[in-house]
Amino acid sequence: MKERKKTRQIHIGDVAVGGGAPVVIQSMANTKTADVESTLAQLRALAKAGCQIGRLAVPDSEAAEALKAIVPYSPLPLVADIHFDYRLALKSVAAGIQALRINPGNIGSEEKVRAVIDAAKDADIPIRIGINGGSLQKDLLAAYGNTAEAIVESALREVKIFERYGFDRVKISVKSSSVLKTVAAYELLSEKVDFPLHVGVTEAGTLLKGSVKSSLGIGILLNEGIGDTIRVSLTGDPVNEVIVAKEILKDLGLRREGVEIISCPTCGRTKIDLEKMVNEVESGLAEVRPKRPLTVAVMGCEVNGPGEAKEADYGIAGGKGQGLLFRDGEIIGKYKEDQIVSVLVEEIRRNEL
Amino acid sequence: MKERKKTRQIHIGDVAVGGGAPVVIQSMANTKTADVESTLAQLRALAKAGCQIGRLAVPDSEAAEALKAIVPYSPLPLVADIHFDYRLALKSVAAGIQALRINPGNIGSEEKVRAVIDAAKDADIPIRIGINGGSLQKDLLAAYGNTAEAIVESALREVKIFERYGFDRVKISVKSSSVLKTVAAYELLSEKVDFPLHVGVTEAGTLLKGSVKSSLGIGILLNEGIGDTIRVSLTGDPVNEVIVAKEILKDLGLRREGVEIISCPTCGRTKIDLEKMVNEVESGLAEVRPKRPLTVAVMGCEVNGPGEAKEADYGIAGGKGQGLLFRDGEIIGKYKEDQIVSVLVEEIRRNEL
């Protein structure tokens, strides 16, 4: 991996973004913001899953009004997502929101953008300039087509307005639903500005396909040192966005925590029910928060099994109806197939909590 | 994306790998190879899903014997996966297999490796040198630790043996269960050899986490121009490996075919049941094989909806209880929420088959 690009640092509530801070995970509630109870419940679920910043759509006055009852009780600092009507941004700020996201392409005149900037300045909160391939200004589309260049040009145009009014607590996103266009836009933008970048592929799709798309776009960029906060965008329960985001950061060595389970794909050599066993290990360890980050290998055969199991902190190398249990590279016992997972979970609970 | 690295070309059956050929998707059956009927059924399912090369574990004589009844009826060219016992490789060749995969780290002496090479030479088939982080030779582990360097050194050592015996129809893999180690190993190897590379992250895990891990490792490498054939490695039904592999290639612009569905993540602005709608579109179009590659956008609101829907070949931009249907950037109608998906599917069936 390349060294992470040095960006300026902003804070959303007490969460630092950019400037060398660890990459931050964020997600967006898909409840009606006006439904205070449901929204708070989802924010709590997101926080529990490991989300660090929450975002709420503010499509109307009712939603902006609800922020007053949400912000003080939210377990996460919140970003109000504003489109079309700049007055909703002003109301969100008045309700105590910790950051704004505007897509200047649909906010309208520079005066309106300026009113939002002034409000944010007074409240001492940052603004995300969130450009989307799907909502570019007409003149940029005419000049560049729907390209990475058009998206970046749109972002730079807004940055100029913000700078003109002396506001630099800015975070930028330049998302597209195309992985390649997203990657190209962030690469280009990262060369041109040192504001912290919010990275994601937009409208990524359903759980599996969306996770692939997000992993590709976010992964390629993080591997190039680009990205200060990430959002995995999936159709459905946003808790899955957080699960996938955590997996991406863990796999890229940007976060070490909890238990990493590795398992073999199973093949004609496998003589135990490995899929069942891995699922049992996953559920047995789901709530386990070990003191140190742990790698647990669950392997089905004698080919790669002992090697991988030895490398891991804990490992199972399966044989016919039984398996070897490893800890820190040493065999600690041989157990029957139907017992080995509970012995493993018990060992980890005893030694690692 | 970087330009794809020029590698030599080999053929597995009639499938070209390397040398500028499109990136090939492969997977591995997880049936008992000795169970001919189950294995053939799974190979047919893999082929139907879009797999281009199949791999079978050959852990014993029974499996090698079964190849005689599998190879002639397989819809895919096949690779026999051999560990420990080089005689199983010889039997696989005798059974007509289209390629071998050996992990020289566990095959034993150079004479045994040579016997395998001679058999492959006579049969005119390629060999994959498949190095795994979990089964490195002891002297390399001692000299380098379990690092990318050790994995690559192990591969280069084998390449020398193959070259000494005048055999160059070689494909190489240097997998690890760590994404970063896998990426580092392939980057290093790609600088040193021009053999085609089989890319994957090994023991990637269960469906969701394994897909993230594979997308990261394979995606970062393909984006750097590295990789001639890919295998997504998941615990469970290998058909999912093919689905994820196709998604990776499509998202990186390395393959255009079928229907790409993009959908928004839903938020507090969404006034229709978008998740249900996207799933209906996915299932309605699952068997549709359009003449041209199509992008279909299913969007929940008026913010990014019309823009993304217009960019796509077909699009739905949802509103309250209804939605606009787009085709090639033009609105072709406004339909009720419970009708719009079937109108969309009907339109595509009428115009694109």
d(CA A309, CA A268): 19
Nearest to B327 by CA among B340, B341, B311, B313: B313
Q: What is the H or E stretch that residue B68 is in?
A: helix B61-70
Query: What is the structure's pLDDT at A150?
Result: 94
| Residue B37's pLDDT band (cuts 50, 70, 90) | very high
CB A197 within 8 A of CB A163: no
| Mean local confidence (pLDDT), B125-130 | 97
Nearest to A278 by CA among A332, A209, A345, A202: A345
d(CA A232, CA B28): 29
Question: Is 90 exceeded by the pLDDT of residue A282?
Answer: no
| Mean local confidence (pLDDT), A27-46 | 97
Class of domain B259-352: alpha beta
| Residue B209's pLDDT band (cuts 50, 70, 90) | very high
Query: What is the structure's pLDDT at B3?
Result: 92
- Per the document, the length of chain B is 353
**A253: region left, alpha or beta (phi > 0 left; psi from -120 to 50 alpha):** left
Domains B10-251 and B259-352 share a fold: no
Query: What is the structure's pLDDT at B321?
Result: 86
Say if B207 is an interface residue toward chain A (CB within 8 Å): yes
CA-to-CA separations, A329 to A264, A317, B151, in angstroms, rounded: 18, 12, 19
Q: Which tens digit of pLDDT belongs to each residue from B309-346?
A: 888 999 999 888 889 999 998 999 999 999 999 999 99
Residue contact A263–B206, C-beta within 8 A: yes
Strands (E), B170-328: 170-175, 198-199, 229-230, 259-263, 294-299, 314-318, 322-327
User: What are the phi and psi torsion angles at B131 (to 5°)?
Assistant: -90, 140
| Residue A19's pLDDT band (cuts 50, 70, 90) | very high
Query: What is the structure's pLDDT at B300?
Result: 85
CB A229 within 8 A of CB A171: yes
Residue contact A208–B205, C-beta within 8 A: no
Structural domain spans, chain B: 10-251, 259-352
Say if A179 is an interface residue toward chain B (CB within 8 Å): yes
**A56: region left, alpha or beta (phi > 0 left; psi from -120 to 50 alpha):** beta
Question: Is 80 exceeded by the pLDDT of residue B105?
Answer: no
Please tell me the distance in Å from A33's CA to the nearest CA on chain B. Answer: 6
Residue B295: CA count within 13 A, CB half-sphere: 21
Q: How many CB pairs under 8 A join A and B?
A: 246
Please identify among residues 36-55 of chain A the ones whose CB lies closer than 8 Å to any CB of chain B. Answer: 39
Query: What is the structure's pLDDT at A123?
Result: 98
Question: Is 80 exceeded by the pLDDT of residue A203?
Answer: no
Residue contact B209–A266, C-beta within 8 A: no
d(CA A218, CA A231): 9
Query: What is the structure's pLDDT at A82?
Result: 95
Residue A142 in 3-state DSSP?
helix
Of the candidates A34, A56, A215, the beta carbon closest to that of B212 is on A215
Query: What is the structure's pLDDT at A267?
Result: 79
Nearest to A296 by CA among A277, A321, A320: A277
Query: What is the structure's pLDDT at B137?
Result: 81
Query: What is the structure's pLDDT at B276?
Result: 87
Testing the interface with A: which of B42, B179, B209, B259 to mutate, by most A Cβ within 10 A? B209
Please tell me the distance in Å from B221's CA to the nearest CA on chain A. Answer: 9
Q: Which tens digit of pLDDT belongs to each residue from A231-261?
A: 999 999 999 999 999 999 999 999 877 788 8
Q: Which tens digit of pLDDT belongs to each residue from B133-152?
A: 877 888 888 899 889 999 99
Q: Which tens digit of pLDDT belongs to each residue from B161-183?
A: 999 999 999 999 999 989 999 99
Question: Is 80 exceeded by the pLDDT of residue A265?
Answer: no
Q: Which tens digit of pLDDT belongs to each residue from A106-116?
A: 888 889 999 99
d(CA B16, CA B9): 7
Which residue on chain A is closest to B130 by alpha carbon? A304
| Mean local confidence (pLDDT), B11-20 | 97
Say if B206 is an interface residue toward chain A (CB within 8 Å): yes
Higher pLDDT, A142 or A204: A142
Higher pLDDT, B103 or B315: B315
Tell me which chain A residues have a C-beta less than 8 angstroms from the C-beta of B108.
none
Does ipTM exceed 0.90? no
CB A90 within 8 A of CB A123: no
Query: What is the structure's pLDDT at A120?
Result: 98
Residue contact B265–A234, C-beta within 8 A: yes
| Residue B205's pLDDT band (cuts 50, 70, 90) | confident
Q: From the CB of residue A297, how many other CB atoms can be counted at a distance below 10 Å?
A: 28
d(CA B23, CA B124): 22
Question: Is 80 exceeded by the pLDDT of residue A204?
Answer: no
| Mean local confidence (pLDDT), A109-138 | 92
Residue contact B134–A279, C-beta within 8 A: no
Say if A58 is an interface residue toward chain B (CB within 8 Å): yes
- CATH annotation of B10-251: 3.20.20.20
Please tell me the distance in Å from A266's CA to the nearest CA on chain B. Answer: 6
Query: What is the structure's pLDDT at B36?
Result: 98
Residue A138 in 3-state DSSP?
helix
Q: Which tens digit of pLDDT belongs to each residue from B39-95?
A: 999 999 999 999 999 999 999 999 999 999 999 999 999 999 999 999 999 999 999
Say if A56 is an interface residue toward chain B (CB within 8 Å): yes
Tell me which chain A residues have a C-beta less than 8 angstroms from the C-beta of B275.
206, 235-236
Query: What is the structure's pLDDT at B288?
Result: 84
* Helical axes B179-192 vs B207-223, angle rounded to 10°: 30
Q: Which tens digit of pLDDT belongs to each residue from B252-307?
A: 999 877 788 888 877 778 888 888 888 899 888 987 888 888 999 998 887 777 88
Helices (H) and strands (E) in chain A, counts: 13, 15
| Mean local confidence (pLDDT), A48-76 | 97
